[in-house]
Every structure is written in structure tokens, then in C-alpha cells.
Amino acid sequence: MTIEIVNHTDQPVEIRNFDKNRYLDTAQMDAEWRNIWGRSWLLAGLVSDLQQPGDFFVFDMGREQFLITRTRNSGIQGFYNVCQHRGNRLVTAERGHADNFRCAYHAWTYNVDGELAIVPYEERFAQGVPCAERSLKPVATEVWAGFVFICMDPEPIPLQTYLGPVVQMLEPYRFAHMTLVEDQTVHLQCNWKAVVDNFSELYHVDFLHPQHKRMVDCCNDTVHLFEHGHTGLAVPGATVNPRFPVPEQPTDIQTAQLLSLGLDPDDFRGRVMDIRRAVQERKREIGKARGMHYDGLDDAQLSDVWQYNLFPNVIFSFTPEHLWILRPRPDASDPARCQFDKISLVMFADPELAEESSEILGPGRDAVSVDGFIPADYRRPRRDVFNYDAVIAGEKTMTDTIDQDVELLGGVQAGMASAAFDTTWLNDDEMRIQHFHNEWERLMAEGEAGGGGG
Ligand code: FES
Ligand SMILES: [Fe+2]
């Protein structure tokens, strides 16, 4: 049982532990706004929500809101969602299509490129209205892999430089070709970093998610550490956790997986540890006929679950057939609260490639179940927003696994606030947490040394 750590940086990796105040303190939250959120590339949303010029969505980020639009020349541009007359929040809809954006207060109207176009009774402004100066304030915007990123730093490093080798490593998964199937947001009573920490280690999995022993091997994983605080993880899938007795029969998850690939689970009685390899070979064999582009993926990727965390707050959990984007966003003012998004995408079969309609070849873990090609009546799912107590009451679910995490995180925040707790005490399995916090500390120190920014 080994955890392999691949360090892509020139910094040594060592556990240092850290003070709890970064989860609790409002002064640190303010500094974080300048030094972390103000300088990092942030995943704002999906390019698929911006098909036509005039399509837009609003991205809520702590104390700010951003309006992201498909412009008239078909570019994608983000703006601060604030009217330049007297500061009203301009767009109130979460997403949609607009010919222009008209402020509800005094009807100042901006085109989809953010330019101020109409000012009622313009002659009554004695000083005039310099439209170019009073246009919407843009924010740096870039697109990668079907995702829109923004950065509040007016002179950011290019997004691909920021992401570094992660870009190439994730390329074969073709995220831009996946389709949104579920969009959820839960309000949590914890700091956003407690969510990132939670999705940065497997130490808790045997205890909080015992059901995972039926599908993944959490004790032989590979950890990657990258520049700029990003981390990655590869966990063997289509297998069982060897820390527990190996079952005689394939587990329910393995059975579903074998059946979806046209394999007979009975053939694997007494051979459960052979299933991972069989899944890889079978996917290679039938993938193309089932409309899947597996050519760029190696055998391990065909069976395994990867989880990549993009600093600061994006967690991608994925297989070749599905992707969860997990994204905690800070509250506007309370360090003990955050909003946590779970955005689920699926790779439907490519009709250009597929010889037959087929079910999704996914690992069948807790992915949303969908079959075949993109349905003709596909409509973008509405975003479902709820409070964590609805999850605890069983009224809402984000899958068993995430529900277990969500139910726990309020307790972590409450416990951290206790007088009896001072610092974390991390182990080697929690190296990704340390790496994330190293970058967090570096940016915080650099920002404060530089006078704290604007
Ligand atoms: S605040 Fe928007 S038009 Fe007055
Ligand atoms: Fe978890």
C-alpha cells in the first residue's frame, strides 16, 4: 500500500501544520480577499452557457458579482455586475439572453459588450456623460477546456501559465465536450478552505465513506503537487480497497460496471482483483463503437478516478465519462460560511463515432445516471440552491459521498472555533492540504508585504 508523491515544483514538501485563525478571523478574510481572490484565476462558469452573442450568466464571488457575456463579435468577456451611475447591481437574473442590459433604477443601458449606450435625459447631466468612461468595468477573462475563468488582478499571468502542466494532463479528458446534467449549490456553515481541505485528502475515506471500498482503492494512490498551489490525485478504480477483505464476488458497483461493458460478472467470481484490468481492456476494445474518444487516455485512466484541485477553490473529480466540479465560494463577510457548488457533467456518446446507442460506460459510482446520446429534448438543468440542513434531513442529496462530507463540515468549523483547538496536525496523506496552504501563505505574505493592495 503506497502513496506515491510526484512533486512538480522545486520546493520541498514537508508537513508544517498551521494556525486555525485563517478559518475564523474576519481580518484574515479581508486580507484573503485582496491577496488570494484578488490575484487568482477563478472558474466562473461554463462556456456552454454562452452559446450566442447576448447570452450571459452572473458569477457570485464573495463580496463581488460578475456578469459574463458572449459579446457581439462572439468573444467572452467578464464585467463587474455594477451600474456605473450610482452603483446598483445591474443584472439580477442568474443567466439568460439579453439584447442589452438595462439598469432597473434609472434605465442606464449597456450593450452586451459592456458599453454604456443609453442614458435617459442625458442633457440633464451638466458635466455630460462620457460613455466610454462610464461603461461596465471589465475583469480579465480567459477560456480553457470549456470553462470561463476570470481574474480580478488587472495584470494577471496568462491562465495557461497559471495552470501549468495541469493543462496538458487534463487535455485527453475533453471536458469541453461534456454536457451539464446537474447544477446544485448548498449553503454551508464553514470556511471555504475547510471544503478544499476535505477534498484534498483520502485519510477520511475509510471512515466517513466506508461505501467506497466497493469501487476504489484509496491506499494505492498517486499525488501530484504543482506550482501555484494546484494538486492532483489518481485513485485506482473498478477495484476494491485492499485494506478490507477482498470479496469473493464482484461488488454491486463492479457488477454494474461490468454489465455496462457487456461483461459477465460471474466470470469474475474469485477474481475481483482482475476486474480493473478487464475494464481497461474492454473499454479500449468497444469504446469507439460506443462513441467514446479514449485514444488520448492511457489504460489506467480508463478505469481510475482522478481528482485535480485548481488553486484556490476548484475541485475537479472525474473519469473519462463524467466530471464533478466542486467549488466552494466564500461568503461576502462571514468567514464561517460559504456556498458550495456541485456541477455535474457527463460525456455522452459521440454520434459521429458510435455504431450503436449505448449506455454511458462510466464507473457507475454515484454519477448521475444517463444513457446514450445527448437527448433530443436536452435542456440545461436549473440550479438547485438549498441549505445544508435540507441535506441532513434527507430532503436534498448531492450523492451519498458528498452528503456525508456536507453533514460533517459544520462540525469542523464549530470545533475549530473552540478554545481547545489551536493548530492542525497533518500526516503524509494530507500533503495536498499542506501544499494548498503553503501557496495560500505565500500569497498572503507577499500581498501584505507589498502594502496590502487595493
Ligand atoms: S444606478 Fe443604474 S441607472 Fe442609476
Ligand atoms: Fe469526503
The tens digit of pLDDT for each residue in 9-38 reads 988 888 888 999 999 999 999 999 999 999
Atom of ligand 1 nearest to the CA of 90: 2
Higher pLDDT, 124 or 376: 124
Q: Which ligand is nearest to the CA of 200?
A: 2
Closest alpha carbon to 323 in 348, 352, 355: 348
Q: Which ligand is nearest to the CA of 208?
A: 2
What digits encode the pLDDT tens for the residues 174-205? 999 999 999 999 999 999 999 999 999 999 99
Whole-number Å distance, alpha carbon 85 to ligand 2 midpoint, is: 46
Q: Which ligand is nearest to the CA of 82?
A: 1
Closest alpha carbon to 268 in 288, 282, 285: 282
Atom of ligand 1 nearest to the CA of 107: 3
What is the reported pLDDT for 355? 76
What is the reported pLDDT for 450? 78
What is the reported pLDDT for 90? 98
Cell of 402: 458528498
Instruction: Give the sheet arrangement for strand 100-102, strand by strand.
Output: 100-102, 109-111, 116-118
Whole-number Å distance, alpha carbon 441 to ligand 1 midpoint, is: 39
Asked whether the beta carbons of 390 and 188 are under 8 A apart, the reply is no
Atom of ligand 1 nearest to the CA of 86: 1
Whole-number Å distance, alpha carbon 198 to ligand 2 midpoint, is: 6
Q: How confident is the model at residue 368 (pLDDT cuts 50, 70, 90)?
A: very low
What digits encode the pLDDT tens for the residues 55-65? 999 999 999 99
pLDDT at position 49 over 80 = yes
What is the reported pLDDT for 16? 87
The pick from 82, 84, 88, 129 for probing ligand 1's pocket by mutation, whose C-beta has the most ligand atoms within 8 angstroms, reads 88
For 167-215, the DSSP string reads HHHHGGG-GGG-EEEEEEEEEESS-HHHHHHHTT-STTHHHH-GGGGGT
Mean pLDDT of 155-184: 97
pTM (two decimals): 0.95
Whole-number Å distance, alpha carbon 79 to ligand 1 midpoint, is: 16
What digits encode the pLDDT tens for the residues 201-237? 999 999 999 998 989 998 899 999 999 999 999 999 9
pLDDT at position 5 over 70 = yes
Q: From CA 374, how far away is CA 441, in angstroms rounded?
A: 44
Mean pLDDT of 79-83: 98
Point out the least confidently predicted range of 1-10, 314-323, 359-368, 407-416: 359-368
Q: Which ligand is nearest to the CA of 87?
A: 1
Question: What are the backbone angles phi and psi of residue 179, rounded to the nearest 5°?
Answer: -120, 135
- The fraction of the chain above a pLDDT of 90, given in percent, is 85
The pick from 81, 90, 105, 131 for probing ligand 1's pocket by mutation, whose C-beta has the most ligand atoms within 8 angstroms, reads 105
For atom 4 of ligand 1, which residue has the closest CA? 106
Whole-number Å distance, alpha carbon 203 to ligand 2 midpoint, is: 9
Whole-number Å distance, alpha carbon 119 to ligand 1 midpoint, is: 9
Element (H, E) at 446: helix 431-449
Q: How confident is the model at residue 371 (pLDDT cuts 50, 70, 90)?
A: low
Q: Which ligand is nearest to the CA of 198?
A: 2
Whole-number Å distance, alpha carbon 68 to ligand 2 midpoint, is: 32
Whole-number Å distance, alpha carbon 46 to ligand 1 midpoint, is: 29
Q: Which ligand is nearest to the CA of 408?
A: 2
The pick from 100, 103, 116 for probing ligand 1's pocket by mutation, whose C-beta has the most ligand atoms within 8 angstroms, reads 103
What digits encode the pLDDT tens for the residues 431-452? 999 999 999 999 999 998 875 4
For atom 3 of ligand 1, which residue has the closest CA? 106
The pick from 67, 80, 83 for probing ligand 1's pocket by mutation, whose C-beta has the most ligand atoms within 8 angstroms, reads 83
Whole-number Å distance, alpha carbon 319 to ligand 1 midpoint, is: 46
pLDDT at position 454 over 70 = no
Which residues does 199 contact at the CB level (< 8 Å), separation at least 6? 307, 309, 315, 317, 326, 405
Mean pLDDT of all residues belonging to the chain: 94
pLDDT at position 365 over 60 = no
Question: What are the backbone angles phi and psi of residue 346, rounded to the nearest 5°?
Answer: -135, 145
State in Å, rounded, how far the first CA of the chain is from the last one.
48
Whole-number Å distance, alpha carbon 63 to ligand 1 midpoint, is: 19
What is the reported pLDDT for 266? 97
For 380-394, the DSSP string reads PPPEEEEEHHHHHTT
The pick from 106, 131, 134, 137 for probing ligand 1's pocket by mutation, whose C-beta has the most ligand atoms within 8 angstroms, reads 106
For atom 1 of ligand 1, which residue has the closest CA? 86
Whole-number Å distance, alpha carbon 204 to ligand 2 midpoint, is: 7
What is the reported pLDDT for 359? 67
**Domains of the chain as residue ranges with CATH:** 4-37+165-449 (3.90.380.10), 42-155 (2.102.10.10)
What is the reported pLDDT for 354? 83
Which residues does 345 contact at the CB level (< 8 Å), separation at least 6? 175, 178, 179, 180, 181, 322, 323, 324, 325
What is the reported pLDDT for 1? 64
Cell of 409: 463540515
Pocket of ligand 1 (CB under 6 A): 83, 85-86, 88, 103, 105-106, 108
pLDDT at position 366 over 70 = no
